[in-house]
Amino acid sequence: MLKWYEESADNSDVVVSSRIRLARNLSKYPFSPKLSKSQSKEMIKELESELSLPISPERPLHWIQVNTLSDIDKVALVERHLISETLAAKEDATAAMISDDEVVSIMLNEEDHIRIQTMSGGMNLEKAFSIADAIDDEINKKFAYAYHERLGYLTTFPTNVGTGLRVSYMLHLPGIARTKKLASISSDIGRFGVTIRGMSNDKENGIGNLYQIYNQKTLGRDEKELIQELGTIANQIIKQERRVRNKMMQDNKNLLEDTLLRSYGLLKYCKSLEIEEGMNLLSNVQLGITTGIIQLDADENFNIYSLVMGIQPAHLEKEKNRALKKEERDILRAEYVQKHLPDILK
């Protein structure tokens, strides 16, 4: 089964992924911050019992008791964006339900009792939402949600009250990042209730030039409105990124080719590779692929994003099944990239 990032998708030269997240709480229990340890155990046990039957027939979900996992396994799930740092850090009973293709991840007893997350490659929030909505309906058949007639779904954080929906795109923006205009973009889209942040949680410095845009509030808005509005903003950013890339190609193609091909060479022949350097070099290779400067001898399902996840610290430690010193990780990271990065077509 292909992972979500291995499937062909619209606007994938700029849009890495589309993500839907629905926050829900069960009416019979206090919200997660107010749950006692015994209530947490009781709720997780009840959820496991009721949700053991297929709630996503097309994608069987695997039950994972998160609070019993090793630290390495928890961090690896965080690195793949399948669970949050908040869920990984909780000591009370917590769980997740994850599909093989990683399209669906349901966090249980995080900040809310249930957080349904669905992913799709490229620009396809509608597809991701249809999957999440169907799962939400199935869970609601088994459990009554905390719901207010006027306010909508009740959540731990007031910003999620209403639809309980967060919609987001992950964007690869190497062109815009070079122009130093992310701060002005952040200010512009902020007027529409949309936030942009880098993978380092910095609005201006996204490691690997990866940035997430998402809605801040859900109250008084329906799901279609939120999806359409974020799509409109994303399309403007996509156009701007493509304009910058085209200008880079026109102004000094030789310099751009040199930069991108050097990045490929460093990845292919280095003996040690730090995480931030690796992410930024892979970003350059991806830019080379989308501009046609770099053509890889790879099958149609190859995706740079699989390497981005594979070089993360916990993923490397899982390969060795032990904690590693930084120097060991850097050496292993270089070896991993060289093993999985395809050759350039002659």
pLDDT in tens, 278-302: 999 999 999 999 999 999 998 877 8
3-state helix vs strand vs coil in the chain, percent to 5: 50, 15, 35
Give the pLDDT of residue 323. Answer: 94
The β-bridge partners of 119 are 19
**What residue type is 279 in one-letter code?**
M
State pLDDT tens for residues 92-128: 999 999 999 999 999 999 999 999 999 999 999 999 9
Both tokens of 143, joined, read 């459990």
Query: In terms of pLDDT, which residue wins out, 303 or 107?
Result: 107
Residue 203 has pLDDT above 80, yes or no: no
Give me the chain's average pLDDT, please: 94
Determine phi and psi for 167, rounding to 5 degrees. Answer: -115, 140
List b or e across 66-77, with b for residues whose CB sees 16 or more CB atoms inside 10 angstroms. Answer: bbebeebbbbbb
Query: Mean pLDDT across the stretch 231-238?
Result: 97
Give the pLDDT of residue 83. Answer: 98
**Which residue from 153, 149, 158 is spatially nearest to 140, judged by alpha carbons?**
153
Q: What percent of the chain has pLDDT over 90?
A: 86
Give the pLDDT of residue 206. Answer: 79
Of 24-28, 66-70, 214-218, the poorest mean pLDDT is in 214-218
Both tokens of 278, joined, read 């690796």
List b or e across 151-168, with b for residues whose CB sees 16 or more CB atoms inside 10 angstroms. Answer: ebbbbbeeebbbbbbbbb
- Distance from C-alpha of 204 to C-alpha of 55, rounded to nearest angstrom: 40
> Quick one: pLDDT band at residue 200, thresholds 50, 70, 90?
low
